[in-house]
Amino acid sequence: MADAGKIKLELRTFSENDLDGKFLAVVATASGSLNELIYREAQRRGVLCNVVDVPEYCDFFYPAVVRRGDLQIAISTTGQSPSLAQKIRQQLERQFGVGYAAWVEQLGATRRLILASDLDKETKLELLHSLASREAFEAALAKIPALSTRVEFGVEHEELSAQSEEHEGKSLSGGRGAGRSELLTVKALRLLRTADAVLHDDLVAPEILKLIPSTAQVHNVGKRCGKKKILQAEINCLMVALAASGLRVVRLKGGDPLIFGRAGEEIESLRRNSIPFEIVPGVTSAMGAAAAAQIPLTHRHASDALVFITAHRAKGCIPRTQTGASLSAAERL
Segments forming the whole domain that contains residue 46: 16-60
Q: For residue 227, what is the domain's CATH number?
A: 3.40.1010.10
SS3 state at 253: strand
Give the count of beta carbons closer than 10 Å to the beta carbon of residue 319.
12
Give the residue from 254, 271, 288 where a domain finishes: 288
Indicate the number of domains in the chain.
Answer: 2
pLDDT attached to residue 181: 63
Residue 77 lies in a domain: no
pLDDT attached to residue 222: 82
pLDDT attached to residue 43: 95
- Give me the active site residues, please: 201, 223
Residue 265 lies in a domain: yes
Residue 97 lies in a domain: no
Residue 65 lies in a domain: no
Contacts 24+ apart (CB under 8 A), 57-66: 57/27, 60/24, 64/88, 64/89, 64/215, 65/89, 65/214, 65/215, 66/92, 66/93, 66/96
pLDDT attached to residue 152: 27
pLDDT attached to residue 140: 66
Give the residue from 60, 89, 115 where a domain finishes: 60
Which parts of the chain sit beneath pLDDT 70? Answer: 139-181, 224-228, 245, 312, 314-333
Give the residue from 273, 288, 303 where a domain finishes: 288
C-alpha–C-alpha distance, residues 149 and 153, integer Å: 8
pLDDT attached to residue 306: 87
Residue 37 lies in a domain: yes
Residue 79 lies in a domain: no
pLDDT attached to residue 176: 46
- The secondary structure of residue 110, as a DSSP letter, is H
pLDDT attached to residue 254: 79
pLDDT attached to residue 188: 84
Where does residue 149 rank: exposed (0-12), middle (13-18), buried (19+ CB within 10 A)? middle
Mean pLDDT over each residue of the chain, to the nearest integer: 78
Residue 210 lies in a domain: yes
Residue 284 lies in a domain: yes
